[in-house]
Amino acid sequence: MKITVMVVMVVAAMSLPAEEHARAGRPTVTVFVENHVGVPSSDLFAAKSMARLMFQSAGVELRWRVGQPLPRDLDQRPIVVQIVSDAPTPGQPHALAWAMPFEGVHIRILYGRIQGAAQPRIVLAYVLVHEITHMLQGIDHHSPTGIMKARWNYLDFVEMQWHQLGFRAEDIELIHLGLDARASGRVTVARALPPASAPR
């Protein structure tokens, strides 16, 4: 009987598509997106796809959802991204987004400051990855280069166009440390976005 069960399990595992098989061992993060400014669906889809690939390179699987989480979704400890046109960013006039790394849930992206870029969908992808990384790390950490740099310069934006701006090793290490803490702690979802505290 045990052998039969084992054989069934092995066959089931072997029948998984390669991508599913690779995905099986990764931590999964659910991210809800509220598109308040009508970002074109093709651009949003492309940005989310790129962001998902970037997180896969860090060993994390993103599960995208649309709109606000329902009470039944809270068990997944979701992240909520609100895409708005613009908002005051005191002391950070060029910030493209706000994150709440210590609260662990809410991100606000200022699309009005992104849509004028040569490839807004690519910049949006990188802003999503940068801010979601803050959430997963659970700290306000920036790196000297790469995706988690505090402020990107012209060369960074050029590297984005070629998909060459990446994570540093410590970024990935902090993501997994943060995920461990996130899994053991409690994160609550507030209905209203609290005052922003962490400019990008």
Binding residues vs Zn ion (CB under 5 A): 200
Of 26 and 149, nearer to Zn ion (C-beta) is 149
Compute the least distance from the CB of residue 149 to Zn ion, in Å.
8
CA-closest candidate to residue 43, choices 83, 89, 99, 100: 83
CB-based burial label for 142 (10 Å; 0-12, 13-18, 19+): middle
How far from the centroid of its chain's Cα atoms is residue 6's Cα?
37
How far from the centroid of its chain's Cα atoms is residue 187's Cα?
16
Of 69 and 81, nearer to Zn ion (C-beta) is 81
Of 39 and 96, nearer to Zn ion (C-beta) is 96
Of 69 and 182, nearer to Zn ion (C-beta) is 182
Compute the least distance from the CB of residue 171 to Zn ion, in Å.
11
Q: CA quadruple 18, 20, 21, 22: dihedral positive or negative?
A: positive
**Number of Cβ within a 10 Å radius of residue 104:** 22
Of 78 and 101, nearer to Zn ion (C-beta) is 101
Q: CA quadruple 139, 46, 95, 31: dihedral positive or negative?
A: negative
Compute the least distance from the CB of residue 118 to Zn ion, in Å.
22
CA-closest candidate to residue 135, choices 69, 43, 191, 60: 60
Compute the least distance from the CB of residue 144 to Zn ion, in Å.
13
Compute the least distance from the CB of residue 134 to Zn ion, in Å.
6
Q: Which residue has the CB atom at the shortest distance from Zn ion? A: 200
